[in-house]
Structure 1
Amino acid sequence: MRSIEPIAKFDLAFSLFCLRHKFSHPVSRLSKLVSHTGDGHLYALFGLLAFLFDGVAGRSFLAVGLFAFVIELPIYWLAKNHFRRRRPQELSDLVTSFITPSDRYSLPSGHTAAAFLMATISSYFYPDLQVFVFVWAAMIASSRILLGVHFLTDVLIGMLLGIGSAQLAIVIVGS
């Protein structure tokens, strides 16, 4: 456990840096809006619109997306319950949480995993959107830190989980 202690200290220091300034309340309002776009409803809408209006590519997009979530969600759930990493506000009274998270543990960030999963799949099927979807995913990841519910390493691991799940689904399901 001592081997990760420097990472945990860095994570806490980074969270405090992000949350302990005079702009944290206005930033949290914007972060709530950004974070909400990663709650899942837009992913279903994107998949449905692609399926209905983009023929074979849209059907493939939906199939790959669904399979990617079949890969990602169990790994996410197992990791959360295996690591049981407490959220930033539980580890320090100096950390302010601006929202109530939907589950107890912080590692990995599910919002980040899902956002990067969708960004990876979207950029594969719709390459013209690549910059937009990855900036959007990065904003969701950042919002989770700025809302005080995740550490930097939570979102980095979520990012890797999302991208990896999407790439595996692309290889297995194909286009």
Structure 2
Amino acid sequence: MNILQNIHAFDVQTFSWCMARKHRAKLTSMGRAVSFTADGPLYAALAMILWFTGYHTLVLIMVLGFTLERILYLILKRGFKRNRPADALDNFNSFIIPSDQFSFPSGHTSGAFFVAYCVSEWFPGLNMMLYLWAMNVGLSRIFLGVHFPTDTVIGALLGSACAATMIGVLA
């Protein structure tokens, strides 16, 4: 249990450092827009565009991979039941209302890294832009006050692992 306490202490310290940044208000404002790009409906729109432009294998990988990712995400979310920063820290309120109760792992970050991995496999020229976007999604979730840093790190690993698995199986 000591290792989990150490991780949480590091997370709180890092989170507090992020919240104390001079330009946090501007980062939070930008974070809302970046976070919105990782909402589910935009992924469905992307899948439709890819389907109608002939990328059927990529869409199949994305649909099956997202199914795997969401199952694992829900198992982790309900298994760990880690409180969000607003519930875990005194005198702190997040800048948005999260869609669920628990913070570990970050679903937005997981989804963003999943999409970045999958799409960059088909369009390698977009690799840098996609991963920069995915990293910014993770950072936005921290600056919006709904996730601790390790929530986003594990989200990134979860999304990437699910994408790698599905591409390995289906491509």
Please report the TM-score for the alignment, with normalisation by the length of structure 2.
Answer: 0.96
Following the alignment from structure 1 to structure 2, what is the Cα–Cα distance between the partners of residues 83 and 94? 23
Task: Provide the C-alpha distance between the structure 2 equivalents of 1:95 and 1:16, rounded to a whole number of angstroms.
Answer: 10
Aligned length: 171
**Structure 2 residue matching 1:34: 3-state secondary structure:** helix
CA distance in 2, matches of 1:74, 1:35: 21
Moved over 4 A (4+): none
1:170 is matched with which residue?
167
Deviations, residues 50-104 of structure 1 (Å, cap 9, x unaligned)? 1101x2xx11110000011111001000100000000111111243410010000
2:46 aligns to what SS in structure 1? Answer: helix
Secondary structure of 2:105's match?
A: coil
SS in 2 for 1:106: coil
- Matched residues in 2 for 1:123 and 1:31: separation? 23
Q: Distance in 2 between matches of 1:3 and 1:77?
A: 23
* Aligned CA-pair RMSD: 1.1
Q: Which residue of 2 aligns with 1:140?
A: 137
In structure 2, how many angstroms separate the alpha carbons of the residues matched to 1:33 and 1:70?
25
Q: Structure 1 residue aligned with 2:157, among 155, 160, 163?
A: 160
1:121 Cα offset (Å): 0.1
Distance 1:21 1:94, change over 3 A: farther
The aligned amino acid for 1:73 is R
- Identity of counterpart residues, as a percentage? 36
Distance in structure 2 (CA, Å) of the matches to 1:21 and 1:168: 38
Q: 1:80 aligns with which of 77, 80, 105?
A: 77
> Separation in 2 of the partners of 1:95 and 1:135?
28
Distance in 2 (alpha carbons) for counterparts of 1:17 and 1:96? 15
Report 1:17-32 matches (<5 A): 17-32=17-32
What residue number does 2:97 align with? 100
Distance 1:7 1:39 in 2: 28
| 2: CA distance, partners of 1:96 / 1:21 | 16
Stretches of structure 1 that go unaligned for 5 or more consecutive residues are none
